[in-house]
Structure 1
Amino acid sequence: MAREFVLERVQMVSHLLGDVFQFYADPRNLARITPPWLHLRMASDGPLEMRTGLRIDYRIRPLWVPQRWTSEITVWDPPHQFVDEQRRGPYRRWHHEHTFRAVGDGTEIRDRVTYALPFGPLGSLAHAVFVRRQLEAIFAYRTRAVHDLFGASPRER
């Protein structure tokens, strides 16, 4: 079995829970909080109403290698949580929990990603050499982009 890794991030923003969740509930907004160097493009056609079972197709180019990514929404509990899981893409496993909680006049956004790479020991080596750092950079960019969209919570100022 492939070794699993976990990435967790918590961020506070100064907007109400409903507004923040509504932004995240539109899959097309992912491009707004994804680094441009990933070259993320939506490949799904038609309306994308979030719900359990929805599959969303993307195209990405990390390190200039074109890849397809298909996510499935496996948990949908508005406005508190949703989970997307990779069905096709570069990871052996990708399970991303998005959790939202009202805190005063703001919202706590929590990301928890459990992931595994293919190729056994080579995947673990790739994780140590560059994958972990790449994911850290992606989520650092996302934190800044969300901060720019929604502002920091009063506790972060």
Structure 2
Amino acid sequence: MSPKPPQNAKQKTVLSLMMMKFVKESVIRASPERVFAFHELPDAFEQLVPPWEDAKIVQKADISVIGSQAIIEQKIFGIIPARWVAEHTAYDPPRMFEDVQVSGPFSSWRHRHIIEPHPDGATLRDEIEYEPPFWFLGALAAPFAVVPKLEKMFAYRHEVTRKWCEAS
């Protein structure tokens, strides 16, 4: 007789089915080192918060320090207060850094900032693996509520990064 799977095995399978991925990629006419240097600026995160976002940075994090945490308070859809704690978990200059949500509005969130050489400079790619809140209801709503918000926010972030990196 084969051993029984853990009681929560089915739940873990369901959770993994809710995982989603968002990717935003842009070519920036600057070296990978310059693109990475932008992200290391003390005020980089403030520059990357779109003006339409109701977000307050309570605590900054140094991307070069594994384990450092950023704390952001914001209002989801402009009305629901949320506190987001993100921890830096990987740092590989000038190629990549990563943060994960410790607590916040998503069931899970992992954000990899990847910078690669490109014939015209560098490719900046943000890869986000996330699990929306509210289980399958969140997964059903994500294409209408989460994805458009991410598309708009990361278009803004990439444009801000491009302008800084391509300035002489």
TM-score normalised per structure 2: 0.79
Q: Deviations over 1:46-98 (max 9, x none)?
A: x7362211111112223223321111111111111111101111111111111
Distance 1:42 1:103 in 2: 33
Per the alignment, residue 75 of structure 2 pairs with 61
Distance across 1 between alignment mates of 2:139 and 2:86: 23
- 1:76 lines up with 2:91 in the alignment: yes
TM superposition shift of 1:41 = 2.3
Where in structure 1 are there 5+ consecutive unaligned residues?
Answer: 153-157
Give TM-score scaled by structure 1 length.
Answer: 0.84
Amino acid at match of 2:149: Q
**Runs of 4+ more than 4 Å apart:** none
Of the candidates 122, 125, 141, which is equivalent to residue 156 of structure 2?
A: 141
Instruction: Give the aligned CA root-mean-square deviation in angstroms.
Output: 2.2
Aligned residue pairs total: 151
Out of 67-76 and 104-113, give the one that drifted further. 104-113
Q: Which runs of 5+ in 2 are unaligned?
A: 1-13
2:36 counterpart SS class: helix
Matches within 5 A, 1:10-29: 10-26=25-41, 28-29=43-44
Counterparts of 1:49 and 1:73, CA distance in 2: 6
Distance 2:58 2:21 in 1: 27
CA distance in 1, matches of 2:22, 2:42: 21
Larger Rg: 2
CA shift, 1:126, in A, is 2.2
Residue in structure 2 matched with residue 155 of structure 1 by the alignment: none
Per the TM alignment, residue 125 of structure 1 is displaced from its structure 2 partner at its CA by 2.5
1:127 to 131, 138, 142: 142
Structure 1 residue 105: deviation in Å? 6.0
Question: Would the aligned equivalents of 2:107 and 2:131 in 1 still touch at CA under 8 Å?
Answer: yes
